[in-house]
Structure 1
């Protein structure tokens, strides 16, 4: 039998052994936790040819927009349209009081009749004087004077003929008609309004079947796009496939074309103003609408693309997490270019052989083992086209 002292020593030894086992067990558990792989989804970096798009804020403008003004002064006595109506070229819009212009026409016509009668009489007298001169009954000076009188009366008749035409034009101008097909705005004049010739705007209207979208681009963007074609900007091919997105996010189904470019940069903003023409058969595009212009830019060969969701922004750096050959997480700093659909263009930091984590990034730290599931762009609903 063990003495009391021996039993005490034995208990101490057993306790030390148990503590050692516990410590050893804890260390093993910690090692197991560290070695447990983190489940993530990853995707292969894409390398392919892409065409970058340039986007600009634009505004819809009507084509052939005109401010319709009266050619004669007077009170509006009749209105044949309502604000917002779609009208055809030549359709009557307003009628101006024509009484004074009809009176002026009658007066001019009467004066013309008298002037033409005087001219006819002087013409007959000239023929008679010519016969008398041939018979040596009058002097040649008398005939010369008569011919001058005939020419004078002819000129008077011509002046009254011009007055009749002017008076007739004034009468015709009391009926105001549409100069083009289009829609009139709602800010038209009312019946009874006195309008001044050449200064009072009766209504503004513009064509509907086609419209402009006006936008501005910077000098550098202009120079970059010029690389697509060596021709003049208005004739180059870079502006042939213009697309617009409306304020509700809908993509307008008809492509447009850049048809106008300003002759120089704006002194205030340093930008170039351009206009793209769009067909508008259904009248969807209304002047004043906001639209986002997208123009295909310069094609880029063998571009490196990484999904936007794979990129983390930390301070002023862009980072992605690489899955290395041992399935270990490895952070990588990258230099990004423009967005292309669901991707970023990568200027530096990645190759086509790299695989990047796209899901589970919040659980991943440098050096962690990864349980990787490779996914495809289709599974993540990624697209090159924005």
Structure 2
């Protein structure tokens, strides 16, 4: 009994001793990983952005100028058509008959004129021998004048009949894209019924109209000079609705000579080539004016910019891998990047991904994004050509 109690006491002491031992401290978690880019100086242009509207250089409504039944429609709605392509044809038979009738009237009038000329010539001779009176000669001269007038009228009627016959064939006045056609073959069309048949729009080139605030106009003129110099030194570019930049730059060709007093803006037009038909008349786009002169500026991706009640800032990683909060002043955006006017220096590591994982003062495991690595900015050397003998 005494031995059993001793064993129990020893077990209790051992259990108590083991419970008093300190548990090992777990290792600290690794610093959070972030992806950085290097703040670099790039040559950038000073830009201004406005909202503009694409306007067709030329467009034409195809209208029925003569009345008749539509017998041909030689296109698919929304297709591209070439200049002088036959688009519509109105039944030409009534107009062909009118041409023949007018030709007959002209032949009749010309015959009457020929007879009147003969009569005048004859009476002129006879009146000298008193074979006919002067009155008869005067009547012959009058009939000659009437016949000449009838020839002119008949010729005019023939010309008009031919014009109306031409109006039965509606052709494309230029290369362009044709729109919808609400009228099908077999319907009666004309100046008073089903007049508008379709519309053709020239797709290449197009123009973009946009309004520039007066203060911006003054700023550009003070920097660039006259409007002629502005047109040659400023490059207009289009930013599409999906945020991508249209690949072809334009040319400013018109600036209005007065400021719109209701809006305080000046109307400007730029012309853009549109070989693939990507720019459609009526669409609104962002127009960006870039100067040809470029200035070295620090650029970072726009996604690196954070904002709070104190303003804009970025998170950087210093040489000790510590996260720093840097207030910045931003400039103009250029594609996916933005100019930094104040707040950071060239060469700093700026966090672009993982900003929610860290806060100022923390240690971060920074890796450079692929485009910021030095090896990604150099082109691989071309392999040396080897030739065998």
> TM-score, normalising length from structure 1?
0.70
Q: Match of 1:161, SS?
A: helix
Residue 163 of structure 1 deviates from its aligned partner by: 0.7
Aligned residue for 1:180, secondary structure, equals coil
Q: CA deviation at 1:147?
A: 2.4
3-state SS in 2 of match to 1:71: coil
Judging changes above 3 Å, is the alpha-carbon distance between structure 1 residues 364 and 216 closer, same or farther for their aligned structure 2 residues? same
Counterparts of 2:323 and 2:206 in 1: how far apart (Å)? 54
Map Cα deviations across residues 254-277 of structure 1 (whole Å, 9 max, x no partner). Answer: 333233445545565444444433
**What secondary structure does 1:101 align onto?**
helix
Q: How far apart, CA to CA, are the structure 2 residues paired with 1:145 and 1:235?
A: 75
Moved more, 46-55 or 157-166: 46-55
Matched, 1:123 2:113: no
* Matched residue, 1:220: 215
Structure 2 unmatched ranges of 5 or more: 1-27, 378-389
Residue from 147, 154, 159 that aligns with 1:153:
147
Aligned equivalents of 1:357 and 1:175: distance in 2? Answer: 67
* Range 180-189 or range 222-231, more displaced: 222-231
Q: Does 1:87 align with 2:81?
A: yes
Match of 1:201? 196
Does residue 244 of structure 2 align to residue 243 of structure 1? Answer: no
Q: Secondary structure at the match of 2:246?
A: coil
CA deviations on 1:11-69 (whole Å, 9 max, x unpaired) are xxxxxxxxxxxxxxxxxxxxxx9xxx999988876556521233334444443211111
Conserved 8 A contact 1:72-1:197: yes
Q: Does the Cα contact within 8 Å between 2:317 and 2:364 map onto a contact in 1? A: no
How do residues 335-354 of structure 1 correspond to structure 2 at under 5 angstroms?
335-341=329-335, 343-347=337-341
Rounded Cα–Cα distance in structure 1 between residues aligned with 2:82 and 2:336: 46
Q: Is 2:276 aligned against 1:282?
A: yes
Question: 2:205 matched to 1:210?
Answer: yes
User: C-alpha root-mean-square deviation of aligned residues, in Å?
Assistant: 4.3
Structure 1 position 131, deviation (Å): 1.4
Aligned: 1:379 with 2:350: no
1:74 corresponds to which residue? 68
Question: Alpha carbons of 1:380 and 1:102: their partners in 2 closer, same or farther (altered >3 Å)?
Answer: same
Instruction: State the distance in 1 between where 2:337 and 2:80 align.
Output: 45
> Given that residues 221 and 230 in structure 2 are in contact (C-alpha distance below 8 angstroms), is that contact kept between their aligned partners in structure 1?
no
CA distance in 2, matches of 1:344, 1:51: 12
Counterpart selection for 2:104 from 96, 107, 110? 110
1:312 and 1:328 map into 2 onto residues whose CA distance is 18
Shift of 1:205: 1.1
Contact kept? 1:225, 1:297, Cα under 8 Å: no
Q: Tell me the secondary structure at the aligned position of residue 242 of structure 1.
A: strand
Please say if 1:318 is aligned against 2:306: no
Q: Give 1:161 deviation, angstroms.
A: 0.8
1:296-324, Cα deviation, whole Å (9 max, x unpaired): 14746454556645644231533457889
| Of 153, 163, 168, the match for 2:162 | 168
Task: Extract unaligned runs of 5+ from structure 1.
Answer: 1-32
Q: State the aligned residue count.
A: 346
| Separation of aligned partners in 2, 1:64 and 1:169 | 24
The answer to whether the Cα contact below 8 Å between 1:78 and 1:191 also exists between their aligned partners in 2 is yes
TM, length-normalised to structure 2: 0.69
Q: Give, in whole Å, the separation in 2 of the partners of 1:90 and 1:171.
A: 16
Within the candidate set 203, 225, 228, 1:230 is matched to: 225
Q: 1:96 to 1:140 in 2, by over 3 A?
A: same
1:8 corresponds to: none
1:54 and 1:297 in contact (8 A); partners too: no
